[in-house]
Structure 1
Amino acid sequence: MYATLFPDSNEIKIQQETIFYNKSDSILNEIYFHNWPNSYKDKQTPLAKRFIENYSKTFHFTNDKHRGNTIINGISVNFDVATFEITEENPDFLKVNLIEPLKPKDSVKISATYLVKIPNDKFTKYGVREFEYNLRYWYLAPAIFETKWQLYNNLDIDDLYIDYTDYNISFKVPKEFEINTDLKASYFIKDSIKNYGLSGKNRLDIALNISKANNFQEYTFDDITISSDLLSESLDDGIKTSILKREFYFIQNFLGKYPHNKILLNKIEYDKNPVYGFNQLPSFLAAYNNAFEWDIKLFKVLSKKYIDQVFLFNNREDYWLADGLHAYLMIKYVERYYPEIKAIGNISKLWGVRNFSIAKIDFNEKYHFVYQFAARKNLDQALTTQADSLSNFNRKIANKYKAGLGLKYLESYIEDYSIPTSIFQFSYANSQKMIKSEAFLNYLKSKTTRDLSWFENDYLTTNKKIDYTIKNITQKNDSLKISIENKRNFTAPIQLYGIQDKEIKFKKWLNGIDSLTTITIPKDGFDKLSLNYESQLPEYNLRNNWKDIDNKIFNRPLQLKFFKDIEDTYYNQLFYTPIYKFNYYDGLVLGMAFSNKTLLNKNINYKITPSYSTKSNTVSGSASFQYEYLPENKKINKLSLGVSGSNYHYAPNLTYTTLRPYAFVEFRRKSLRDVRSKALGASFTFIDKERSPTQTEHIETNKYSVFNLGYGYSSPGIIDDVRFSTGLEVSSKFSKLSVTAQFRKLTDSNRQFDFRFFAGAFITNKTETNYFSFALDRPTDYLFQYDYLGRSETSGIFSQQIIINEGGFKSKLPVSFANQWLSTLNTSVGIWRWVEVYNDVGFVKNKNEKVYFAHENGIRLNFIQDILEVYFPLYSNLGWEVSAPQYSSKIRFVLVIKPKRIYNFVKRGFY
């Protein structure tokens, strides 16, 4: 390859000769290349669509000069001009048509002259930034032919499937630039050009760093050189070299000799696959000491690079072993050198924190916790799921952890053969070969008498959960009769432990428990029995794994904890957490929430929140109880049954009480990458409002009950956002049906169009007030489901808060309620960034009155959709509102201050 970098245009001109060997048994008439530089060419590529799936619109709306592409100037086959194809559907594939068929074991020379435009690095972290170039997947890479061509689009998951290749590269850069690489490198300068010669054998894809200010530092020991820009100013070079040497030889003891004598560790590789926990905790807390943090960061990058160079996996379709080895090595390294480090580091020693259960778990216990977090939310996926079908959470974290825990469990389970030995021998026999993960399993099965079918058939290929429990213990003389139940449809081997004062006195493997089994063991020096005591097996629920032998009535004492914590399997936990909220009538509401809900989802949750209202000087509060069922691999993803209630003020010195039993069904998405959701809900709401001594409104507004049945569909894409809901409400005095449809579109020029349609009609209506009527502008919220700061206000700042529901109007018009039917259309068009123009029209029909046509328009400041918005009315049925007196009172705003709502907005697309 002859390549020349042109920094002024961020382009590389390349002349490339590829000798392609047909290693298959098929005759080939074409050769495919992965043309991944071309995946940045426009908004329609698979990579561009992937960005949108991930709720990132940076690439979609960037200037064209920041994109990348490939321009092919010519291709020849064995020195004869050849034709080639690049399709619109797959612009990152290049098909070269051979002039003559390529027979098995023959080779062909393909020459290509092309231009690569380097994209900005803000999309994938690879590319250009201020005259620094981090290049990966920057050239035409020959695809692999097995029984068919193995072609994969660039989806920013760094899994190019390319065979081991010999490289010989001549790369010209301006003399002020320097190339960092793990290839053999030399250069000479001529006429202000630095001419690099780069070469390497049996390499995969070639990553290069080209920069003026070289931040890479080299560490040399024995015959190995490690070059990295992951720096630590607090550690001297001697300590860092010593740490890297320890890391390298630790990995070598598992994977055998590294096939090359230089390793390039780019900070980008860490940034794209960080140590989760380091990047979640604020840096000012200094949770970990600098040596540990730098060590683990480097180890993560180094071990990943080591695995990728020793083994060649198809990481799009067969990644579990590579991920498992990576996580397993991380676990073993921390186990060996940092067994004392806690999951939250030095924070665990702080007063007020050290008594929490989360402060007591070791660094390696986070792997079990994260797996349980995913499993308890029904968010886990099988380890054999294709990588591009995994949710971001599972691809980056949960599946890697589950794979590593699986290998760690096999280490404990296979007692007649060593897992570290098997990894080393397998690596030695298959180093730098194209292999499949099943080959490792076959190797293991050949070395052990243990049954591994549970691991091969269920652990890898399904997301079935493992959950065992001790049902009963019966003492008979000097023996114990124990009933053990498998609560799931996953039969895995599990260990039974006898425990005395937290010390293991007895241990026994149990196999084949598929329902309820009774075993007998000797009673010998322990007072507790526990399954999976050392948490080796990633189990769904650890709380039901143990019992006292003497069958105490209260097996678990009550544990009171300030703030939410993780589960402690030996206690019934009750958390008390300070809470606050605000409304105009209660003022600042201060209280204490008593709950059993931990950081992991539970089937049964309760929450009682007594509080004190500072403005009204009264006691208020809320309570809820919920049962949640998560079916496995069913059309229903979640079923919730519960009841909630509250008591606060709805007006000065006037309280309301609600009681709401409900049922909620969430249907399963087609895949976890599918943002679409469907749900069905039913509730029966009882309301009792305190009557005012001066009340003139009908008493029907004081005490009532409403049955609600609703269905909702949403597809909240970042470019196209579609939502639909319908609801039926039935009460003693009315019944009504409503439909809401919303569509939001971001155009290619980053202009937003919002359309919202609402239609509602009464089936029966015997009410004597407008309290239950459809509202044109501000719903009365008779079900008390909206977060109004001052729900009864008719003037002042709190009366200007709106919740976009029902009619969705912003101006208060003469006819603002409908007791027969209401139909509106709300539209909004972006002008510049978050500045939009809104236009609303509607038809309001009341009994014995003509249809009222409503209209309005104005300016909308859409800072955060549905969370923070401001509306400035301009013109409506009232005329020009801008010129009306007290215009400021006509301005409306949307404000949501619920942390959970904001968190759900931020985490879109991750799970």
Structure 2
Amino acid sequence: MKAISNILIIFLLLSLQGFSQQNRIKIKATLDAKENKLNIQQKITIHNKSDSILSRIYLHNWPNSYRDRKTPLSKRFIEDFRKDLYFSKKKYLGFSDIKNITVNFENSEYNELKNHSDIVEIPLKKPLIPNDSLEIYATYIVKIPNSKFTGYGANKNGFHLRYWYLTPVVYDNGWQLMSNLNLDDLYEHPTDFKIDLNTPKEFVVESNLYQYETKKDSFNNYFLIGKNKTDIILGIYKKNKFKTFKTNLADVHTDVINKEIDYKLTTNILNRELLFLEEYLGKYPHQEIYIDKVTQRKNPIYGLNQLPNFLRPFSDVFKWDVTMFKALTKKYLENTILINKRKDHWFIDGLQNYLMIEYVAKFYPEIKLLGKFSDFWPVKSFNISKLNFNDKYQFVYQFTARKFLDQALTTPADSLSNFNRKIVNKYKAGLGFKYLNEYLEDDVLKKTIKELYLKNRLEIISSQQFYNILSRKTNKDIDWFFGDYINTSKKIDYTIKKISTKQDSLNITIKNKRNITTPFALYGLKKDSIIFKKWFKGIKTSETISIQNKNYDQLVLNYENLYPEHNTFDNWEKLDRKIFNKPLKFSFFKDINDPYYNQFFYQPEFSYNFYNGLILGMKLHNKPLIKRNFEFKIYPAYATKSKTLTGSFNLIFNQYFEKTKIYKIAVGMVGSTLDYAPNLSYKSFIPYIDVIFKRPTLRDASFKSLRAKLLHIDKEIAPNLTKTSQDNYSVFSLSYNFNKSDIIKESRYSFNTEFSKEFSKASLDIRYRSLTTSNTQLDFRIFAGTFLSNHTTSDYFSFGLDRANDYLFELNYFGRSEDSGIFSKQFIIAEGGFKSVLPTRFANQSMLAFNSSVGLWRWVEFYNDVAFLKNKETPVYFAYENGIRLNFIDRIFEIYFPFYSNNGWEISQASYPEKIRFTLSGDFGSIFNFFRRGFL
């Protein structure tokens, strides 16, 4: 009976296709599983539905994006600090080998578009006029890439294919050309598909099309068919991986399965999800939805899907429900609302996340952001434990916006930073829909979304249609949303400036602190309950509004976090104002801001050096999880070895800029006291100014900064010694730093000048690292330094060949004064950058050094250094050395074995182990930045 049913469905679809004016694709393909190849004959029928005469046709040829290291996909991976495709073995690569193309049965020229290996251009001998059609026949071979690159391709269990065939480029006010950038956003016309696929007998096929299987003697034949489809996904495995759940609205085929949830409960949850989507959108036009685990895994719920299995703050039902709902919503929208997701992605992202917010609010209003952990001691004492699951959208947006790292919603998807593309912009877009819904009221947004969906499903549209329908359904101003809100990264920020009582009214002065004018919501609270809520039109600068006085305890802006705001710290005002509007509160560890208090945080902190030993202290600071402009840290500590009090403090004010080439200016001062030798301490006090420049784009990993600082150093000296100019001194330093890196090439340089009473100097440090085409690392560094004046009588301020004196106390030495023992072997590349200790170690006039290393195998490198040192009244000293460098983690963990230098063959000399040097960084910030590369 099932076979008969399938035949009837296929017959019905075939008969409907005869009347279709849609594009049509017919594919006859044979899988060569041993060679990982598909042999394809494809017929494409293209209808010109535009008003333009087309003189050429373009085809997306995304299978060819895996061809070599020069494709846009490979270059994109490099930007994301991924080199797996760039250095892949040939057997793992993929390509499309086109043998022949004909247009309307005539052989045609075709060529690969320049700099776009995955787009084919076909000049037409006869232009394609509006409402006419043509037929393209293509014969080609697709070499299936390994799935490790994008999740799609060949794997140990079979094949998971997506974007595996030639697809006509959409013509919509011009050709919408797009290369594969691992964004899963191919823009396609709704198309009628017929696929005739032969596979070896041991394989079964699962897809998002209707299919009928015929078993032959030496192979299996699958006939697949679909109408008004896009994005055909094939799973070809040796056994079925998908389950089918039959709901009242559609059959859900998926391998996103939780074995702890039985079939009946899973079906009930899916039925509820589909009913919810139908309520907000409208009826799904297909009879089935195909949700594969690969696609779902690439669109996770961040903070939920990343948790290891042994941590279970959420129930299995909740975790699977919201995970599946997000995947289901994505497929529901993408299969029916055909929009350019590279240019107009904000609309689909916003709608998907808005539906997610509404779904969780309706069915899981009690779920907290931290799940069951919210009730655990001592987590429940933190403010973050009180956040609901939906509060994460505002929190994550504000976390990024406070650092001015957000981007406009209409920024093309391929120009967004990874963090913004995957998380922040989606959250802001979802909050934008929620903002509109609350502001417009009366279900205006819900009615608009449903009308848009029902009138335009399975049609090419843009977000302009959304605006057109919404503007007809409301008299309220919405230009702020379709203007600054989506087109800029301007930030909403209102505050209550003043409250005065006049008889039975309250006069409230609202100030707009930034350069965007949007509606805002004002709340009156009494005993934490909302007894007043009203929306007000946007205020450009400052305005006083009047409301009835109902003896509120507090007035609050944006109390329910209905819209994303830059700063919510100053949204609260008490009516019974005292000297301090908010009392002080000291909270353990870092937390989110508590709106009821002026909050300070304390947390244990530890560090180590050889002279102080383990340093244990308590850090007091005002830095919540979301950044403030003004920050301070006070760190009193006790050193367990020296048995002394140590510590540090840091004050900083960050001023960010939106319309200049400067990203921020930081003004601050820092001071500390530690031991620099046994029982001898130093004190430092350093006021400074940092100017950090903006990157050309947020996908650009470059960094430019200018720093000016005045260092005051006061060192203790041993008893019976007299203080000299190297024990108490001040140095003014001015430096410029530049760094541009990706996983293949890195270049950086810094220019530094120093001025004091005793000396003045200038230095240049240039570094370049590159990986060759054979994955061999080349590392080069040039250091050039000279004294402009030098009246010192020792080498304390001189340039160091093998170890910088670090008189500014900037390098993280564990034992900075050690001449023997393990800590004397710590190496931090600075100044001369030599690893061997040579007879001449310092230069009091000038130094020129060249450091290089060449990769031999994985993290094993050969280093070679030369230098010229000039001291007063002595000839130039030429230094040289070489050896082996074990570069486990660059500039974080390295080991150096010297071979040959001015000292001769060091490897054959006595006490060779004492000549081995190592790099070990204790800077947790550098370690974190190394591992987060490519995500932010």
Q: What is the TM-score normalised by the length of structure 2?
A: 0.96
| Alpha-carbon distance between aligned partners in 1 of 2:98 and 2:711, rounded to the nearest angstrom | 67
Q: Equivalent of 1:864, from 886, 889, 894?
A: 889
Q: Match of 1:804, SS?
A: coil
Q: Equivalent of 1:852, from 867, 873, 877?
A: 877
Return the offset for 1:694: 6.2
Q: Match of 1:145, SS?
A: coil
Aligned partner letter, 1:636? I
| Alpha-carbon distance between aligned partners in 1 of 2:528 and 2:159, rounded to the nearest angstrom | 55
Cα pair 1:621 1:647 within 8 Å, conserved: yes
| Alpha-carbon distance between aligned partners in 2 of 1:221 and 1:334, rounded to the nearest angstrom | 21
Return the offset for 1:775: 0.5
Structural mapping, 1:143-292, within 5 Å: 143-222=169-248, 224-292=250-318
Give the equivalent residue in structure 1 for 2:57: 31
1:628 maps onto 2:654 in alignment: yes
Q: Equivalent of 1:830, from 855, 866, 873?
A: 855
| Alpha-carbon distance between aligned partners in 2 of 1:88 and 1:468, rounded to the nearest angstrom | 49
Aligned partner letter, 1:208? L
Cα pair 2:249 2:271 within 8 Å, conserved: no
Give the equivalent residue in structure 1 for 2:713: 687
Q: Equivalent of 2:338, from 312, 322, 326?
A: 312
Give the equivalent residue in structure 1 for 2:374: 348
Q: Equivalent of 2:100, from 66, 69, 74?
A: 74
Structural mapping, 1:383-422, within 5 Å: 383-422=409-448
| Alpha-carbon distance between aligned partners in 2 of 1:464 and 1:158, rounded to the nearest angstrom | 28
| Alpha-carbon distance between aligned partners in 2 of 1:502 and 1:132, rounded to the nearest angstrom | 58
Return the offset for 1:350: 1.1
1:659 maps onto 2:681 in alignment: no
Aligned partner letter, 1:332? E
1:616 maps onto 2:652 in alignment: no
Q: Match of 1:542, SS?
A: coil
| Alpha-carbon distance between aligned partners in 2 of 1:512 and 1:675, rounded to the nearest angstrom | 37
1:126 maps onto 2:152 in alignment: yes
Return the offset for 1:167: 0.2
The 10-residue stretch of structure 1 (145-154 or 9-18) with the greater mean CA deviation from structure 2: 145-154
1:89 maps onto 2:125 in alignment: no
Give the equivalent residue in structure 2 for 1:798: 823
Cα pair 1:39 1:92 within 8 Å, conserved: yes
Give the equivalent residue in structure 2 for 1:886: 911
Return the offset for 1:695: 5.2
Return the offset for 1:231: 1.5
Q: What is the count of residue pairs matched by the alignment?
A: 910
Listed one character per residue, the Cα deviations across residues 700-724 of structure 1 (whole Å, up to 9, x for unaligned) are 2211111110001110111110001
1:905 maps onto 2:934 in alignment: no
Q: Equivalent of 1:517, from 513, 519, 543?
A: 543
Cα pair 2:520 2:558 within 8 Å, conserved: yes
Cα pair 2:65 2:73 within 8 Å, conserved: yes
Return the offset for 1:476: 1.8
Give the equivalent residue in structure 2 for 1:746: 771
Aligned partner letter, 1:825? F
Give the equivalent residue in structure 2 for 1:781: 806
Q: Match of 1:669, SS?
A: coil
| Alpha-carbon distance between aligned partners in 1 of 2:879 and 2:530, rounded to the nearest angstrom | 76
Gaps of 5+ in 1: none
| Alpha-carbon distance between aligned partners in 2 of 1:123 and 1:524, rounded to the nearest angstrom | 62
Distance 1:223 1:306, change over 3 A: closer
Give the equivalent residue in structure 2 for 1:438: 464
Return the offset for 1:229: 0.9
Return the offset for 1:87: 3.8
| Alpha-carbon distance between aligned partners in 1 of 2:250 and 2:745, rounded to the nearest angstrom | 52
Q: Match of 1:901, SS?
A: helix
Cα pair 1:417 1:448 within 8 Å, conserved: no
Return the offset for 1:417: 4.7
The 10-residue stretch of structure 1 (550-559 or 872-881) with the greater mean CA deviation from structure 2: 550-559
Aligned partner letter, 1:839? N
Listed one character per residue, the Cα deviations across residues 872-906 of structure 1 (whole Å, up to 9, x for unaligned) are 00000000000111111110111012222111111
Structural mapping, 1:371-770, within 5 Å: 371-693=397-719, 699-770=724-795
| Alpha-carbon distance between aligned partners in 2 of 1:264 and 1:310, rounded to the nearest angstrom | 13
Q: Match of 1:329, SS?
A: helix
Identity of aligned residues (%): 51
Q: Match of 2:647, SS?
A: strand
| Alpha-carbon distance between aligned partners in 2 of 1:280 and 1:514, rounded to the nearest angstrom | 42
| Alpha-carbon distance between aligned partners in 2 of 1:732 and 1:213, rounded to the nearest angstrom | 80
| Alpha-carbon distance between aligned partners in 2 of 1:334 and 1:358, rounded to the nearest angstrom | 18
Listed one character per residue, the Cα deviations across residues 182-207 of structure 1 (whole Å, up to 9, x for unaligned) are 21111011023110010000011211
Aligned partner letter, 2:411? T
| Alpha-carbon distance between aligned partners in 1 of 2:47 and 2:499, rounded to the nearest angstrom | 66
| Alpha-carbon distance between aligned partners in 2 of 1:14 and 1:404, rounded to the nearest angstrom | 41
Q: Match of 2:895, SS?
A: strand
Return the offset for 1:223: 5.4
| Alpha-carbon distance between aligned partners in 1 of 2:96 and 2:289, rounded to the nearest angstrom | 29
Distance 1:482 1:497, change over 3 A: same
| Alpha-carbon distance between aligned partners in 1 of 2:113 and 2:437, rounded to the nearest angstrom | 48
| Alpha-carbon distance between aligned partners in 1 of 2:576 and 2:46, rounded to the nearest angstrom | 72
Cα pair 1:807 1:824 within 8 Å, conserved: yes
1:99 maps onto 2:112 in alignment: no
Return the offset for 1:463: 0.1
Give the equivalent residue in structure 2 for 1:367: 393
| Alpha-carbon distance between aligned partners in 2 of 1:183 and 1:560, rounded to the nearest angstrom | 60
Gaps of 5+ in 2: 1-26
Distance 1:718 1:659, change over 3 A: same
Q: Equivalent of 1:12, from 38, 41, 51?
A: 38
| Alpha-carbon distance between aligned partners in 2 of 1:729 and 1:617, rounded to the nearest angstrom | 35
Pairwise CA RMSD of aligned residues?
1.1
| Alpha-carbon distance between aligned partners in 2 of 1:217 and 1:161, rounded to the nearest angstrom | 28
| Alpha-carbon distance between aligned partners in 2 of 1:489 and 1:100, rounded to the nearest angstrom | 53
Q: What is the TM-score normalised by the length of structure 1?
A: 0.99
Cα pair 2:400 2:424 within 8 Å, conserved: yes
Cα pair 1:7 1:131 within 8 Å, conserved: no
Return the offset for 1:699: 1.7
Return the offset for 1:512: 3.0
| Alpha-carbon distance between aligned partners in 1 of 2:276 and 2:148, rounded to the nearest angstrom | 35
Aligned partner letter, 1:818? A
Cα pair 1:416 1:448 within 8 Å, conserved: no
Distance 1:506 1:845, change over 3 A: same
Aligned partner letter, 1:845? K
Q: Equivalent of 1:47, from 43, 51, 73?
A: 73
| Alpha-carbon distance between aligned partners in 1 of 2:137 and 2:809, rounded to the nearest angstrom | 71
Return the offset for 1:693: 2.0
Cα pair 1:20 1:107 within 8 Å, conserved: yes
| Alpha-carbon distance between aligned partners in 2 of 1:222 and 1:533, rounded to the nearest angstrom | 39
The 10-residue stretch of structure 1 (29-38 or 792-801) with the greater mean CA deviation from structure 2: 29-38
| Alpha-carbon distance between aligned partners in 1 of 2:695 and 2:471, rounded to the nearest angstrom | 36
Return the offset for 1:415: 2.5
| Alpha-carbon distance between aligned partners in 1 of 2:49 and 2:503, rounded to the nearest angstrom | 69
Aligned partner letter, 1:368? Q
| Alpha-carbon distance between aligned partners in 2 of 1:283 and 1:610, rounded to the nearest angstrom | 39
| Alpha-carbon distance between aligned partners in 1 of 2:455 and 2:113, rounded to the nearest angstrom | 40
